[in-house]
Amino acid sequence: MRLYPAIDLRGGTVVRLYQGDYDQTTAYANDPVELAQAYEDAGASWLHLVDLDGAKGEAGENLYVFEEIATRTALRIQAGGGVRNANDLQRLHDAGVARVVIGSLAVRQPDLVRDWLIKQGSEGICLAADVRLADDGSMHVQTSGWTEDGAIELNDFIARYQDVDLRHALCTDVSRDGTLGGPNVALYRGLVQRFPWLQVQASGGVSSLADLQALAEAEVDGAIIGKALLEQRFTLQEAQACLPNG
């Protein structure tokens, strides 16, 4: 299982949201570029970056941080937040992002995103399925920085892309994100079983090495770790050492 240390940015500052709520933001003193370098020194090969301003449709300085990290580290960057058209996609690639995460647009304009996957290949795009439990008991995909219900069920959302060589999908249980309450292992296990061809990344709630071991046992391809590292619940080296291939 690959580990993705995560850095979420608002106005160029490292932050974490609680359950996707922009009104419950914790800011950290870390310089984002220095933090990325520290993760690289600790053995990371990938970094997950989120432009929270872009996700809400707001302009910000986060793209410059992306560029600086790409220039000053050898990390492969997976990043998203606010991709609404081909120009946004290209700007992220030009900034040094290896794999662009696309969420809201994939809900609203599936034909466009399907076309990108066909033309550009599967390695440069990761589908983002950010989900909340709906009243009917199903998991609904969220849009607009997790502020709106996209009115589509998780499995139906992913199934839209299974014939265009989608390979990477990131799934966040928004109710767990930023809570340090443990990941929704059953959710990810179900995705892996339903879509065995998909490389699933689990996001939200990781707080301990036992959480990572449970995700590895669920056979997810990757785990995104944000707040647990920022608040020193464990180190990246400890996380890597606890896994079967660590």
Instruction: List, in order, residues 6 or more apart from 146 with CB less than 8 Å away.
Output: 20, 55, 130, 132, 174
Distance CA 69, CA 85 (A): 23
- Residue ranges of domains in the chain: 2-242
Amino acid at 123: E
* Count of C-beta atoms within a 10 Å radius of residue 186: 10
The tens place of each residue's pLDDT in the chain, 246 residues long, gives 999 999 999 988 998 888 777 888 888 988 999 999 999 999 999 999 999 888 777 766 789 999 999 999 999 999 988 899 999 999 999 999 999 999 999 999 999 999 999 998 899 999 999 999 888 888 999 887 767 777 899 999 999 999 998 999 999 998 888 888 899 999 999 999 999 999 999 999 999 999 999 999 999 999 999 999 999 999 999 999 999 865
Closest Cα to residue 102, out of 114, 11, 165? 114
Cβ-contact 92, 61 below 8 angstroms: no
Site of tokens 């998203």: 80
Cβ-contact 33, 75 below 8 angstroms: no
- The residues annotated as belonging to the active site are 8, 130
What's the CATH number of domain 2-242, 3.20.20.70, 1.10.240.10, 3.40.47.10, 3.30.1490.190?
3.20.20.70
pLDDT, tens digit (0-9, with 9 covering 90-100), for 150-203: 789 999 999 999 999 899 999 999 888 888 889 999 999 999 999 999 999 999
Closest Cα to residue 99, out of 73, 72, 117, 118? 117
